[in-house]
Amino acid sequence: MSGEIVRLEARRRFLRGSAAAGGLGLLGLGGCAAARPGTALAGLASMDAVPPLAPVRAHADRIMKITVCLRPFRAQGPRLDVEQVGDKTVVHNYGHGGSGWSLSWGSSSIAVKKALAAGEREVGVIGCGALGLTSALLLQQAGVKTTIYAKELIPQTRSARATGTWSPDSRIALAKAAGPEFPALWEEMCRTSFAAYQTYLGLPGDPVVWSDRYTVSDLSPQEMRARRQEHDPIGFASYQERVRDLTPRSQLLAAGTHPFAAPYVQRNTSLQFNVAALGRRLMNDFLLAGGRIETREFHAPADLAALKEKTLVNCTGYGARALWKDESITPVRGQIAWLIPQAEVNYGVFYKNVTMLSRSDGVIIQDTGPDEGAGYGDANETPDRASAEAAVATIAELYSRSR
């Protein structure tokens, strides 16, 4: 299918969706405040009505699996330097905290430029997660013969256990530790990735979609922001204001316009990664373009000497802590309870520090904790069934008190 046909089909889908939802293409025009009756904005908001929301069947016996992911956080931000290991030139591309999928294309673009500077026409990539696959695809696009070396393929990697939401500055660095040039570098990675992901919209399997999210709270948006800033024990950097033009602003919904029983309900629209579909799409694209994947486990940098390629891109994520003895990586534990998929649920919710996001491969329920410090320094990857069931019960409570 040609690129033009793909674009036309995506446009037709958008128009059909807008018509069916009563003009949902106008999301975000209300900013963070409800429109006053009698104003022009109120007329637009009436076209921007909340569609019927199918409830999640939030029952503990619908939990089909529980996964734990260790986010590879580095206080100074991702590692993107070049290191010489024997006769190998190694370009590092790891340490993205909770932003691996979101920043993958942008970070990999930087790493690939450095790899190409070595002048080799065959390059190896270590790792088959989000960063490994995007690095490999970009190397192929540059005309380089590429082989991925990995212990696990994408379905088994930590990348496959990610939430799947656009979160480009989630635990990406510490505000006081990142250098003065990092914010601009982060913005470059963010914008590059955002543009790349737009090309995956409308593809079979919906690897990338836009979805509505509802924040349901007893606190006002201002009180919620103040509380999160007050309870920030780690001091994570926040750069979202640098890219406010990329996504719609949150919209405070008026009482009676939504089904939730709470004083404050905000809606925004964000990119969503259906990780299972996206990961397989990236891997298949790599293989169809002539790429090779070889199962290989590395225990020390010296093991790279056995590879034929002289230039390597290291995308080992949290695994780099052991492989490279990199103590700058701090684990940030996150657990997801996966409920049986519900195709009729096409939105996300945040309620009492619990996130629900419906994806094609399951409804994910995640207790995010009271602040960004939750899970910081915790390397335990053993699933906690009691915690998973408690998070599901919180979402069940939300629906039980809603219309």
Helix (H, G, I), strand (E, B) or coil at 382: coil
Predicted pLDDT of residue 47: 58
For residue 28 the two structure tokens come to 């975000």
Classify residue 60 as exposed, middle or buried by CB count within 10 Å of its CB (0-12, 13-18, 19+): middle
pLDDT beyond 50 at 120: yes
Closest CA to 30 of 268, 290, 198: 268
Beta pairing partners, 85: 88
Q: Which is more confidently placed, 12 or 387?
A: 387
- Over 90: is that where the pLDDT of 370 sits? no
Tokens of 118: 């070595």
Give whole-number Cα distances, 225 to 220, 228, 232, 377, in Å: 9, 5, 11, 24
Helix/strand/coil percent split, the chain, to 5:
35, 25, 40
Whether 53 shows a pLDDT value over 90: the answer reads yes
Q: For residue 337, give the 3-state DSSP assignment.
A: strand
Evaluate if residue 93 carries a pLDDT over 70: yes
Please give the full DSSP string across 282-327, using - where no structure is assigned. Answer: HHHHHHHTT-EEEE---SSGGGGGGSS-SEEEE--GGGHHHHTT-T
b/e code 68-103 from CB counts within 10 Å (16+ = b): bbbbbbbbebbbbeeeebeebbbbbbbbbbbbbbbb
Q: Give the separation between CA 69 and CA 333, rounded to whole angstroms.
A: 6
Cβ atoms of residues 300 and 242 within 8 Å: no
Tell me the C-alpha distance between 18 and 9, whole Å.
Answer: 14
Q: What is the pLDDT of residues 227-240, one digit of tens each?
A: 776 777 889 999 99
pLDDT tens digits, 57-74: 999 999 999 999 999 999
CA-wise closest residue to 275 among 223, 353, 336: 336
- CA–CA separation, 332 and 376 (whole Å): 4
Q: Token digits for 135?
A: 């690095």
Q: Is 385 left (phi over 0), alpha (psi -120 to 50) or beta?
A: alpha
In 3D, which of 155, 135, 97, 140 has the Cα closest to residue 334?
Answer: 97
Q: How confident is the model at residue 403 (pLDDT cuts 50, 70, 90)?
A: low
pLDDT in tens, 170-189: 999 999 999 999 999 999 99
Q: DSSP string covering 128-145, please?
A: -SHHHHHHHHHHHHTT-E
> What predicted TM-score, i.e. pTM, was given to this entire model?
0.87
- Cα separation, 362 vs 63, in Å, equals 10
Q: For 198-229, what is each residue's pLDDT tens digit?
A: 999 999 999 999 999 999 999 988 888 777 76
Residue with tokens 């128009």: 15
Q: Give the strand pairing for 145-150 and 122-126.
A: parallel
Interatomic CA distance for residues 31 and 211, integer angstroms:
17
For residue 142, count other CB atoms closer than 10 A to its CB: 14
